[in-house]
Amino acid sequence: MPDRGFDPEEGSSVPGLPDNPAFGRDGAPARHSGGWKLLFLVFILVAGALGGLAYFAGKWKQEVEVREILVDGATLVPAGDIANALKSWRGRYMQEIDTDELRRRVLHFPYVSDALLQKEMNGVLRVRLSERVPIARTILYGKILYIDREGILLPENSRIRAFYPMLPSVSGISRVRNMPNGLQCIDREQARLIEDFFSALGETEYASLLISEFHLADNNMSYCLTHQAPARFILGNDGNFKEKLKKFEIFWQKVVSKKGFDVYLAVDLRFRERVFTTDTVAVKVPLQVSP
């Protein structure tokens, strides 16, 4: 039988061979076992390389030493004091550092409210501080102390005097408790009154410029004093300081500024819509200052 000639429309002219080399004689895809072997070999090499890198990285990590201690966020406490408190850990392996233990040591500084310690692979132990914010001063045991929003008592230093030179005073503190970290804290109830009062004072229009002292007293008789007038402005112990301080501003503008600073010995702001003075004269006070 004569050989078939090549016909482009019919495909291959070689008898016994499939028309497409990608398929076998039965039409099924041809198997290329050599390609799969190559892929498997590449996978083994890559996995081995990654495993080796992980091993050497872990070994290098274990041998990293603390070469430097950096402190961020230090304002009221010198950063050098924090670094010196942790200097005994310098030169130790980073893997051996217990950050919880170091954090407890840092929290013994009165001005530090929280601390985050981070290990960096370049040998740096970084300490990020959150500091307490004083809102008032007081005198206890013959010493000037500062009070933060949680009622924590903070010792005076040159930095706190420089950053907070004009803080109002608090008097009448009668109950103080010791904390586990060695600090002292005002009794919970008195601390709440102090925080509520100064939060409201910070939102006033100009009362914060006039008031110089907040005095704690029992029997709902806590009061504040001003720089100019000797009068006691009685606010009580039942909160609602925002409304009472607004009444204080109205009374100051409409009465004190016109009659003078020495007219009243006491001004009672505890009652809704009325202000009473020590001479029992009731003064009708509007709820809002007229524009």
Over residues 64-90, the pLDDT tens digits come to 888 999 999 999 999 999 999 999 989
| pLDDT value for 44 | 77
| pLDDT value for 281 | 46
Asked whether residue 62 is domain-assigned, the answer is no
Over residues 165-215, the pLDDT tens digits come to 999 999 999 999 998 878 899 999 999 999 999 999 999 999 999 999 999
Phi/psi of residue 29, nearest 5 degrees: -60, 140
Look at phi and psi of residue 44 and say left if phi exceeds 0, alpha if psi is from -120 to 50, else beta.
alpha
Q: Bigger pLDDT: 37 or 198?
A: 198
Mean pLDDT, residues 223-238: 94
| pLDDT value for 227 | 92
| pLDDT value for 260 | 84
Domain boundary among the residues 88, 110, 131 is at 131
| pLDDT value for 58 | 56
Which of these, 112, 65, 71, lies nearest to 89 by C-alpha position? 65
108, 138: one domain = no
Q: In this model, does residue 243 exceed pLDDT 60?
A: yes
Q: In this model, does residue 95 exceed pLDDT 60?
A: yes
Which of these, 129, 170, 128, 165, lies nearest to 149 by C-alpha position? 170
| pLDDT value for 170 | 98
92, 179: one domain = no
249, 191: one domain = yes
Show the DSSP H helices in the chain as ranges: 33-62, 79-85, 99-106, 158-163, 188-201, 207-210, 241-251, 257-259
Asked whether residue 15 is domain-assigned, the answer is no
86, 162: one domain = no
77, 216: one domain = no
Asked whether residue 156 is domain-assigned, the answer is yes
Asked whether residue 166 is domain-assigned, the answer is yes
Q: What's the domain count of the chain?
A: 2
DSSP codes joined into one string, 225-285: EESS---EEE--SS--HHHHHHHHHHHIIIIIHHH-TTS-SEEE--STTEEEETT--EEE-
Q: Bigger pLDDT: 92 or 27?
A: 92
Rounded mean pLDDT of the chain?
83
82, 203: one domain = no
CATH of the domain at 165: 3.40.50.11690
| % the chain with pLDDT above 90 | 58
Mean pLDDT, residues 108-131: 93
Mean pLDDT, residues 277-291: 51
Q: Bigger pLDDT: 284 or 212?
A: 212
155, 194: one domain = yes
CATH of the domain at 108: 3.10.20.310
154, 107: one domain = no
Domain, as residue range, for 233 = 134-284
Domain boundary among the residues 105, 131, 157 is at 131
- In Å, how far are 87, 102, 121, 123, 199 from 67, measured between CA atoms? 10, 16, 11, 5, 44
Cα distance between residue 66 and residue 152, in whole Å = 33
125, 201: one domain = no
Which of these, 117, 128, 130, 126, lies nearest to 70 by C-alpha position? 126
151, 263: one domain = yes
